[in-house]
Amino acid sequence: MPEAVYSTALDFLVFACVDLVFTYQQQLLLAKRNTEPRSSWWIVGGRMVAGEEPKATAMRKAHQEAQLANLDTDRFHCIGVYSTCFAVRRQAPKHHGSHSLNVTYQIELTLEEKEQIKLRSDEYDTWQWLSVERAKSLLTPDEAMDQALLKLIDALRF
């Protein structure tokens, strides 16, 4: 889709995303994004494409974003569907922001899978495996997007 058409669509539509919370032995992976709409701590994920089932998107994003391929879809546990409103976006006009509806899955990884993760440097500056308490300490409860991330963290099943 041409960039100008996509920018116009973002002004009028709520788009669908799938987010992934990778966990390993009471820890979760948080990644520091370097691009809008969220240039801060977040989880891995991205937009669905037309005709794609949420778990198919989850598989695709695990591979594209974290280099994790061939994960069994039975391991993807839905922990919620969340609405996120971003004040800014990557596309012009940036100040128009965007709105997404996010199907969020938790995936408990093996040690081998945990060690295999390599996030894309064009989207993430760094990532860390954190305890729930440490992850919460990085967030600001007054900030709307941090509130959304805190809800996700509280929904995790260990």
pLDDT in tens, 31-54: 998 876 666 899 999 999 999 999
Confidence of residue 83 (pLDDT cuts 50, 70, 90): very high
> SS3 string of 79-115?
EEEEEEEECCCCCCCHHHCEEEEEEEEEEECCHHHHH
Residue 15: give its domain's CATH number.
3.90.79.10
Listed in sequence order, the residues at least 6 apart from 109 whose beta carbon sits closer than 8 Å to its beta carbon are 22, 23, 24, 68, 117
Please give the angle made by the CA atoms of 100, 105 and 110, to the nearest 5 degrees: 145
Tell me whether residue 12 is exposed, middle or buried, using C-beta atoms within 10 angstroms of its C-beta: 0 to 12, 13 to 18, 19 or more: exposed
Q: What is the pLDDT of residue 144?
A: 83
The SS3 of residue 126 is strand
Give the distance, in angstroms, between the CA of residue 119 and the centroid of all CA atoms in the same chain. Answer: 12
Task: Write the single-letter amino acid at 68.
Answer: L
Question: What number is the average pLDDT over the span 2-28?
Answer: 94
- The tokens describing 23, both together, are 């966990």
Q: Greatest CA separation found in the chain?
A: 44
pLDDT in tens, 87-137: 888 888 888 888 999 999 999 999 999 999 999 999 899 999 999 999 999
State the total domains in the chain. Answer: 1
- Could you tell me the pTM of the whole model? 0.91
Question: What number is the average pLDDT over the span 57-65?
Answer: 97
Owning domain of residue 103 = 3-155
Q: What is the pLDDT of residue 1?
A: 81
Q: What is the pLDDT of residue 151?
A: 94
